[in-house]
Structure 1
Amino acid sequence: MRHAFRMQLKPGMRDAYRAAHDHIWPELVDLLRARGVRDYSIYHDEDSNALFAILTIEGEDRRADLPSHPVMKRWWDEMAPFMETHPDNRPCEWPLERVFHLA
């Protein structure tokens, strides 16, 4: 299963956001992989400052507990200065509908 969504960076935060992801925590990678997340990419649109993400879920979707996991919460706290978030620092996320796929 693929999941695509959009997030929104705050002005001037692209480089800081990228730097944080260049040094993503191993425990976060392990957590995401344990929940079936594979082939996860995030793209930046310079004109709108939007982030477009797509990831593949291997097997059953086991991400339901991620918002309450301490590692995920700490990561969101680290990312909050860079992007639009909810009051709990969870990134604002807008799902994207696939309208075309070429396999």
Structure 2
Amino acid sequence: MIERIASIMYLYEGNQAEYKKRHDELWPEMEQALKAHGASNYSIFLDPVTDILFAYLEVENKADYDRIAETEICKKWWAYMAPIMKSNEDNSPVSKDLTQVFYLA
């Protein structure tokens, strides 16, 4: 069964173009890690007024997907992104998980 994951993250002001550029040039190793951990239909949307990002992806097993945080490539990506977005001490993005309240198949 597919699990849908949604969250919001926060860019620092003035970094919209750089954030898009970095994702347009997503490292092949990062893309491989995402897929290896079950990510599919992954989209990130930006509210250009508030600099809030909305991320959505689908996984077959959230526990398997969550293990991506333990990989060196993910930690390297987080460190790369930390200067342009709100981040935790381990460089992971500050994010809030969202609860699904409606779904239309």
Tell me if 1:7 matches 2:23.
Answer: no
Normalised by the size of structure 2, how large is the TM-score?
Answer: 0.92
Distance 1:70 1:46 in 2: 31
Tell me if 1:60 matches 2:66.
Answer: no
1:50-72, Cα deviation, whole Å (9 max, x unpaired): 00000000x22312322221000
Residue 74 (structure 2) aligns with: 72
Three-state SS of the structure 2 residue aligned to 1:52 is strand
Residue 34 (structure 1) aligns with: 36
Match of 1:86 among 85, 88, 95: 88
Amino acid at match of 2:91: N
Residue 22 (structure 1) aligns with: 24
Three-state SS of the structure 1 residue aligned to 2:56 is strand
Three-state SS of the structure 1 residue aligned to 2:42 is strand
Deviation of the 1:82 alpha carbon:
0.9
Distance 1:6 1:48 in 2: 12
Deviation of the 1:43 alpha carbon:
0.2
Question: Which protein has the bigger helix share?
Answer: 2
Amino acid at match of 1:4: A
Contact 2:37 2:67 in 1 (8 A): no
Normalised by the size of structure 1, how large is the TM-score?
Answer: 0.93
1:21-55, Cα deviation, whole Å (9 max, x unpaired): 00001111111101110010000011211000000
Aligned-residue CA RMSD in angstroms?
1.0
* Structure 1 unpaired stretches of 5+: none
